[in-house]
Amino acid sequence: MDKLSVMNAFCRIVDRGSFSRAAEDVGVSPALLSREVKLLEESLGASLLTRTTRTMSLTDNGQLFYDEALRILRAVGQIEDRIREGAGEVSGHLKINAPTSFGQMVIAPILPEFLERYPCLRLSLSLDDRLVDMIEGGFDVSIRIRPTLPDSALIARKIGTMRQRIFASPDYVAKNGVPEAPDELLHHSVIGFLLADHLTSWALQGPSAVIDVPLDPPVRVGNSLVLRDLLIAGRGIGTLPDFISDAEEAKGNLVRVLPDYELPAPEIFAVTGSRLGLDARVSAFLEHLSSALRR
């Protein structure tokens, strides 16, 4: 059990007066927070919270734990601040994991400025489209693009939202026509993304409803940049994230298909192993990345 993390979570529960509001603050589920408090109480051999369906209050032992936990957390924060102020710079080794296409299209272009700003920093960037065990891999932060993330001991911080829309090349639509409704996609050559949840079914969000379109893509690839290149070459219709499609659409290499419809927008999460706060290296990187995403 990570005692400092549990202390932080417990204090947040008390301050917010609710497991659900505290869970939202720290980026985990209420069920996970409830389990952690139960484990804490079992380890102490004492009840800290009295809970009913409508109210929650501190026991005497809970009040004692809350007061001492606040004192300890403040002391840890002050020590960290002093060390960071004394160091005066972001340094050390930062290990990042990210999806391949996002790493190439979004992270790689911002690295020169980031490294120039923090010259004492060592950096490792690992690109992998499959979900990796970031703790086993020794990563400080993992960028994950998902509609939601499952409960885990890791902490996920939302840093952006991605749009996923439908595209084809001008040559393809000139030769094959443009589908006017989602069900007309069944008569077109669709290129699928192997690692996506929507490989064989697109839940398209339209003006008034969500329409499920079953698919059996004859061509399936495991990399969004390969998918982009196939679309530009006129090989079919497919979906692309905005960080890949925007530039190609602006240059006229791709055109929107069914512009009133798009897939559910995945969230961009930064996943770390600590609930207490971010390492200075991770904080600097995520601030830099978030700024780029806002632009």
CB 69 within 8 Å of CB 11: yes
Tokens found for residue 229: 């290149």
Residue 164 makes CB contacts below 8 A (sequence gap 6+) with: 239, 240, 241, 242, 262, 263, 264, 265, 266
- 164-256 shares the fold of 3-86: no
Tokens 């925007």 appear where? Answer: 246
Tokens found for residue 268: 């961009």
Tokens found for residue 250: 């602006």
Delimit the domains of the chain by residue range.
Answer: 3-86, 90-146+269-294, 164-256
Mean pLDDT over residues 52-69, rounded?
86
Tokens found for residue 217: 């893509």
CB 12 within 8 Å of CB 26: yes
Classify domain 90-146+269-294 at the CATH superfamily level.
Periplasmic binding protein-like II (3.40.190.10)
Tokens found for residue 92: 């050390």
CA distance 193 to 197: 9
Residue 178 confidence class, pLDDT cut points 50, 70, 90: very high
How many Cα atoms are found within 13 Å in the side-chain-facing hemisphere of 230? 21
CB 6 within 8 Å of CB 40: yes
CATH T-level assignment (fold) for domain 3-86: Arc Repressor Mutant, subunit A (1.10.10)
Residue 233 makes CB contacts below 8 A (sequence gap 6+) with: 169
Mean pLDDT over residues 212-232, rounded?
93
Burial track 75-111 (b if 16+ CB lie within 10 A, e otherwise): eeeeeeeeeeeeeeebeeebbbbbbbbbbbbbbeebe
Say whether pLDDT at 227 is over 80: yes
pLDDT tens per residue across span 72-123: 988 887 777 666 554 546 778 899 999 999 999 999 999 999 999 988 888 9
Say whether pLDDT at 276 is over 50: no
CB 111 within 8 Å of CB 123: yes
pLDDT of residue 124: 93
Number of helical (H) and strand (E) elements in the chain, helices listed first: 11, 14
Residue 223 makes CB contacts below 8 A (sequence gap 6+) with: 100, 101, 129
Tokens found for residue 248: 């190609």
Say whether pLDDT at 208 is over 80: yes
pLDDT of residue 188: 94
β-strands 121-127, 255-256 pairing:
unpaired
Average pLDDT, the chain: 86
Contacts 24+ apart (CB under 8 A), 117-120: 117/284, 117/288, 118/89, 118/90, 118/91, 118/284, 120/89, 120/90, 120/91
pLDDT of residue 96: 93
CB 276 within 8 Å of CB 10: no
pLDDT of residue 137: 80
Share of the chain above pLDDT 70, in %: 93
Residue 241 makes CB contacts below 8 A (sequence gap 6+) with: 101, 102, 145, 162, 163, 164, 224, 266
pLDDT tens per residue across span 236-257: 999 999 999 999 999 999 999 9
Classify domain 164-256 at the CATH superfamily level.
Periplasmic binding protein-like II (3.40.190.10)
